[in-house]
């Protein structure tokens, strides 16, 4: 009876999984065609607005005599359709990575979309132009080709009669009064804003995509397969001795609780047969609970591997975004005061290699072992705590001595004062 119940449950899970897999396959195969069609319709809508409202020119306040509110309406429509095109093209590119979409009609649609969005896309080079952060940041960045570096003027300048800071201030005031000052300021602001947006989007993708991949791959794909395999092969309930000890401890506490209640309550004492029946029911509950935990731990291993693959794919297809993240972090780090830099360095070193850090490492390693279904070996944990934080502390000290003393000597002096 029990075997037939498990067989029916296994068959039902297999049927559901087959249905979901078929629907997912159909949806995934049709994704490129559906995405390119939506992007094409959005591009056609933009072209229609250009023809009907702007005499075939691009949507811009300089090319039409509209009031501010009307122009804001058309600009909002343009931004909405351009966002739709970007999102759908991203879906198309993701789907076309795994599916052959070299159709002539698709290529014609792509060509038309490129012609439309080219009128509203600034040159890519402008977003990569360096923005001055401060003198330390300018010295830190070295992204120019070798020939440009060789042809550039030397950074060391002779000391003149007037201090350089006064000359820099005068040049800044002069630039502020030039006719193009406002235009240059707006241009730099837009470049910085675009960099920040792309950097934040990329950082969010790095976090969200692996987490969602791990969660849904485990629930929809891996966990049903693992449970089916364990039922068919009648594998052990417990993956390690620690899980078995936890189950025995829970059963022992339940038995003691029953005896305590039978002695405490004024009702007649519970018969041994009833206690044995309750213990059997509890054993079944504990077995089902730890069987699920074992299946979940095995599923976590495969789901984590899939999430790492998703993380690697995001990195591989976002090389430009990595550059934006570098600019974004440089602006944040070099924009901090020396006291803030010293505070953050002390905070991170105390968290990871400080006096109280072994307790945090111990909790973290035990959680990782439980997540993967591994026994939390005390000797292994203590060996890790005795070696890894020491290596990390050495790296921190070397970085402070080697780089921080050159990049920000005042921050190093502040760090020494705060540390003492």
Contact 136, 112 (CB under 8 A): no
pLDDT at 310: 92
Residue 403: count other Cβ atoms within 10 Å of its Cβ: 12
pLDDT at 269: 64
Looking at residues 176-205, what average pLDDT do you find? 81
Higher pLDDT, 215 or 260: 215
Last residue of a domain, one of 120, 141, 164: 120
Looking at residues 297-314, what average pLDDT do you find? 92
Question: Is the pLDDT confidence value at 212 over 90?
Answer: yes
Looking at residues 335-363, what average pLDDT do you find? 83
pLDDT at 415: 72
Residues 273 and 380 in one domain: no
Cβ-based burial of 88 (10 A; exposed 0-12, middle 13-18, buried ≥19): buried
Residues 340 and 314 in one domain: no
Counting the structural domains of the chain, the total is 3
Residues 98 and 204 in one domain: no
Residue 356: count other Cβ atoms within 10 Å of its Cβ: 8
pLDDT at 102: 60
- Of 287, 285, 306, 284, nearest to 295 (Cα)? 287
Tell me phi and psi for residue 157, to 5 degrees: -115, 150
Looking at residues 299-328, what average pLDDT do you find? 90
- In Å, how far are 7, 12, 95, 260, 305 from 21, measured between CA atoms? 21, 14, 17, 52, 20
d(CA 57, CA 381): 68
Tens of pLDDT, residue by residue over 115-155, are: 888 888 765 444 444 444 444 443 444 444 444 433 443 44
- Domain of 391, in residue numbers: 336-419
Residues 407 and 304 in one domain: no
Contact 13, 26 (CB under 8 A): no
Higher pLDDT, 335 or 145: 335
- Token pair recorded at residue 356: 């109280």
Contact 321, 198 (CB under 8 A): yes
Tens of pLDDT, residue by residue over 261-287, are: 877 776 666 677 788 888 899 899 998
Instruction: State the DSSP code for 420.
Output: -
Q: Mean pLDDT score of the chain, rounded to an integer?
A: 77
Last residue of a domain, one of 120, 155, 173: 120
Tens of pLDDT, residue by residue over 51-105, are: 888 878 888 877 777 787 788 888 888 888 888 888 888 777 766 655 555 667 8
Residues 14 and 78 in one domain: yes
Contact 336, 263 (CB under 8 A): no
Last residue of a domain, one of 289, 318, 347: 318
d(CA 261, CA 267): 10
Per-residue H/E/C for 258-277: HHHHHHHCCCCCCCHHHHHH
Point out the least confidently predicted range of 21-30, 179-188, 307-316. Answer: 21-30
Contact 33, 106 (CB under 8 A): yes
Residues 350 and 391 in one domain: yes
- In a domain, residue 174? The reply is no
- In a domain, residue 398? The reply is yes
pLDDT band, very low/low/confident/very high, at 302 (cuts 50, 70, 90): very high
Residues 299 and 381 in one domain: no
- In a domain, residue 145? The reply is no
Tens of pLDDT, residue by residue over 233-257, are: 888 888 888 888 889 999 999 988 8
- Of 189, 64, 63, 44, nearest to 126 (Cα)? 189
- In a domain, residue 42? The reply is yes
- In a domain, residue 415? The reply is yes
Contact 389, 319 (CB under 8 A): no
pLDDT at 124: 47
- In a domain, residue 147? The reply is no
């Amino acid at each position: 009876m029990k075997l037939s119940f498990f067989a029916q449950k296994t068959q039902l899970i297999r049927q559901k999984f087959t249905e979901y897999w078929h629907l997912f396959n159909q949806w995934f195969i049709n994704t490129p065609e559906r995405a390119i069609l939506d992007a094409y319709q959005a591009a056609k809508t933009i072209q229609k607005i250009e023809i009907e409202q702007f005499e075939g020119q691009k949507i811009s306040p300089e090319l039409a005599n509209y009031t501010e509110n009307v122009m804001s309406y058309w600009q909002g429509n343009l931004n909405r359709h351009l966002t739709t095109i970007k999102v759908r093209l991203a879906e198309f590119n993701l789907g076309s990575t795994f599916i052959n979409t070299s159709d002539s009609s698709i290529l014609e649609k792509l060509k038309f979309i490129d012609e439309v969005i080219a009128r509203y896309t600034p040159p890519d080079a402008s977003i990569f132009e360096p923005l001055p952060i401060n003198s330390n940041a300018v010295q830190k960045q070295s992204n120019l080709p070798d020939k440009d570096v060789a042809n550039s003027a030397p950074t060391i300048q002779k000391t003149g009669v007037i201090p350089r800071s006064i000359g820099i201030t005068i040049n800044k005031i002069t630039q502020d009064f030039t006719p193009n000052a406002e235009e240059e300021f707006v241009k730099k602001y837009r470049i910085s804003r675009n960099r920040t947006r792309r950097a934040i989007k990329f950082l969010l993708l790095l976090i969200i995509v692996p987490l969602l991949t791990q969660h849904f791959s485990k629930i929809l794909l891996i966990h049903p397969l693992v449970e089916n395999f364990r039922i068919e092969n009648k594998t052990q309930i417990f993956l390690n001795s620690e899980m078995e000890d936890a189950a025995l401890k829970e059963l022992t506490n339940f038995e003691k609780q029953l005896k305590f209640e039978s002695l405490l309550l004024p009702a007649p004492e519970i018969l041994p047969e009833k206690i044995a029946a309750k213990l059997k029911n509890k054993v079944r509950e504990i077995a089902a609970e730890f069987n699920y935990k074992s299946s979940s731990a095995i599923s976590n291993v495969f789901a984590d591997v899939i999430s790492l693959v998703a993380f690697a794919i995001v990195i591989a297809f976002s090389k430009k975004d990595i550059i934006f993240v570098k600019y974004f972090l440089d602006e944040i780090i070099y924009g901090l005061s020396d006291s803030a830099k010293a505070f953050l360095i002390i905070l991170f070193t105390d968290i990871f290699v400080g006096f109280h850090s072994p307790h945090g490492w111990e909790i973290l390693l035990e959680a990782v072992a439980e997540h993967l279904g591994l026994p939390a070996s005390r000797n292994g944990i203590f060996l890790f705590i005795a070696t890894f934080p020491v290596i990390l502390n050495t790296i921190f000290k070397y970085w402070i001595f080697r780089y921080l003393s050159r990049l920000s000597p005042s921050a190093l002096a502040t760090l020494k004062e705060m540390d003492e």
